Chain A
Amino acid sequence: MSSANTSAAGQGLANRFNLQQYVVYLGFLAIFLFFAVVLRDSGFLTVRNLSNIVLQTAPATIMAIGLVFVMSAGEIDLSIGSTVAVAALAAAVTLGQYGLIAGVLTGLGAGLLVGLLNGALVAYVKLPSFLVTLATLGLFAGVSRSMTDLRSIPVTDSVFTGFFGSGAFLGIPSLIWWTAIAVAIGHIIYRETRFGAHVLATGDNARAASVSGISVPRIRLAVMAISGCLAGLAGLLYAGRLQAAKYTLGETDLMTVIAAVIVGGTLLNGGRGSIIGALVGSLMMGMLNNGLILMGLSVSDQMIVRGLIILAAVAVSLREKSR
């Protein structure tokens, strides 16, 4: 929100508004400082470790951008994890047989198709997105398992792995480029276009949007398609970085991505959100992951601590937002 308020009352609103907006940045800073102190001898603060965090969170950040659109429109997409796997596998298989372009297009296309399927069921059959995407989550988890009989498919095309994984351009790793470009484009579309405004209006008050001439079904279809497509891109990034695709890709990302989006200031019920907030939320989740590993917690303890911290973070940001 621009904050050039003119009157005293407007100023008061702006102050309260800023507070809720900055919760994610304060949380990010707090966790960063905590690890910086506690883990000062364990290499947390090294450039290498910090840039690793950004690289590792790239797929989750990309998915989070899609979810900001979905949740702002008052919907949810639980199927992103399965979409990632299906897209990565589809890309890997096609890549091996038909080359680079075909592989990339198939990966993104697979994500888009899942998104369109979700979107059509939500927008035109008028089923709740929670149930639709819960079903497609299971459906495509099954599809990704049967696609290659649970086998991992190696990705050897060096152009692909460079472009979507380990490469760099102008000295900056390609995964950081992908993150930056997706965040920038996502932010502009979300904040500065009519489409973005209509997404928010739809999530805020679908009836008001509809009587204002906004095609609510088309908005719902579009946000689900965007989410699917970005999950497809996340699948390509996983395949590029790990140089392989497997049905397990993205399996555990759902909780992280939803947490990142909510902590980042997007309302669960729609009508308000932030792409930049989701980016910071996603980096915060990545940092948490990284710090807990460096602290030497066992995998089960990591999960417990992460769950608790997400709970706390989500509770704080939701409380802040409900006035």
Chain B
Amino acid sequence: MIPSEANAPVLKLQDIHKTFSGITAIENFSLEVYPGEIVALVGDNGAGKSTLIKIISGVYSPTSGTISIEGETVTMSNATMARSHGIEVVYQDLALADQQSVYMNMFLGREPVNGFGLLDRRRMIAETESLVKELDVRIPSAHATIRDLSGGQRQGVAIARATHWASKLILLDEPTAALGVAETAKVEEIVLSLKRRNIGVLIISHSLDQVFRLSDRICVLRRGKQIGVRETAKTDKNEIIAMITGLQPV
């Protein structure tokens, strides 16, 4: 699906700057993500990709620049606000509570309660089980403790959680870095299903193969600078590699 330009972008970043105690991590960054569009964010280690994700999700506030969601400028001082805007994130470190169960992690910070104000575990477990089945992430049980899961299963929990709650935009920070071939294919399938749900996706990946398989557009970042944005269909790996590294293509 090609993003229709008539739609308002679900996310619009304008002139984002971020400095950490004087050191510039992001400068002059502008990008739009449309509903149902998959934008890949690529760049070498330390380029500022995760920092950008954290700015969009409200973990860091930008030093300057504006963020708009569906045309409305927002200031986000914490992660709750991003979530209330329908933005979900799969962080590079997954942000899971290791000693809690899968279902408690799935509902972390949004636990349903019954009429007495007590946790509605039955509902959390049921919803977790149906979600796990729907996404086909192989987890032994909704009761399993996170630390007893494999890296791929943890990744699955984090992705399942984000897809469950996202209504507009999902940010994925290297969602397949720790995964095997089959699991990677599964995650890519999930990402494509988000596209069908008309959810905007911003995905960070070091795998150019994956980027070219999934994305509609590719945004390249080098040392905090936005090098350029390309339509995936109109570029090739050599050009992107040249942009990432700053070396001329051979």
Contact = CB atoms under 8 A, between A and B. Distances in A.
Interface in B126-181: 129, 140-145, 148
Given A10-B144, A212-B110, A213-B80, 8 more contacts: A1-B101, A1-B143, A194-B119, A208-B108, A209-B109, A211-B57, A267-B99, A271-B100
A9 B108 contact: no
B96 A205 contact: yes
B79 A13 contact: no
B101 to A, nearest CB: 7
A17 B79 CA distance: 33
A193 B79 contact: no
Interface residues of B, number: 35
A211 B144 contact: no
Contacts of B145: 13, 17
B83 interface: yes
Interface in A172-224: 188, 192-194, 197-198, 200-201, 204-205, 207-214
A282 B101 CA distance: 27
A194 B111 contact: yes
Interface in A9-43: 9-10, 13-14, 17
Give the interface centre of A2, A205, A267 by most chain B CB atoms within 10 Å: A205
Contact of A6 (B97, B98, B141): B141
B100 A213 contact: no
A201 B143 CA distance: 16
A140 to B, nearest CB: 33
A322 B168 CA distance: 40
- Majority SS at the chain A contact face: helix
A198 B113 CA distance: 13
Interface residues of A, number: 34
B95 interface: yes
A272 interface: yes
14 contacts: A2-B143, A6-B142, A13-B143, A192-B118, A197-B100, A204-B98, A209-B97, A209-B109, A211-B57, A211-B59, A212-B95, A212-B108, A213-B78, A213-B80
Given A188-B118, A205-B98, A210 B79 contact: yes
B159 to A, nearest CB: 15
A4 B143 contact: yes
A197 B105 CA distance: 10
Nearest to B124: A197
Nearest to A210: B79
A146 interface: no
B98 A194 contact: no
Contacts of B79: 210-213
Contacts of B97: 200-201, 204-205, 208-209, 271
A214 B118 CA distance: 17
Interface of A: 1-10, 13-14, 17, 188, 192-194, 197-198, 200-201, 204-205, 207-214, 267, 271-272
A13 B100 CA distance: 13
Contacts of A194: 111, 113, 119
Contacts of B104: 197, 200-201
Interface of B: 57, 59, 78-80, 83, 89, 91, 93-101, 104, 108-111, 113, 117-119, 121, 129, 140-145, 148
A204 B99 contact: yes
A201 B108 contact: yes
A193 B108 contact: no
Contact of A271 (B59, B83, B98, B143): B98
B111 A197 contact: yes
B95 A208 contact: yes
Contacts of A200: 97, 99-100, 104
A210 B117 CA distance: 22
A205 B100 CA distance: 10
Given A9-B141, A193-B118, A214 B109 contact: yes
Contacts of A188: 118
A193 B100 CA distance: 15
B101 A212 contact: no
Nearest to B54: A211
Contacts of B89: 211
Given A211-B95, A213-B110, A13 B119 contact: no
Enumerate the 9 nearest inter-chain pairs by beta-carbon distance, A residue then B residue, closest first.
A10-B141, A9-B140, A212-B109, A213-B80, A213-B109, A208-B95, A204-B97, A271-B99, A212-B108
A193 to B, nearest CB: 6
A197 B119 contact: yes
Contacts of B100: 197, 200-201, 204, 271
B98 A10 contact: no
B148 A13 contact: yes
Given A213-B80, A214-B108, A205 B95 contact: yes
Contact of A13 (B95, B108, B109, B144): B144
B79 to A, nearest CB: 4
B229 to A, nearest CB: 27
A10 B153 CA distance: 14
A7 B95 contact: no
A277 B194 CA distance: 44
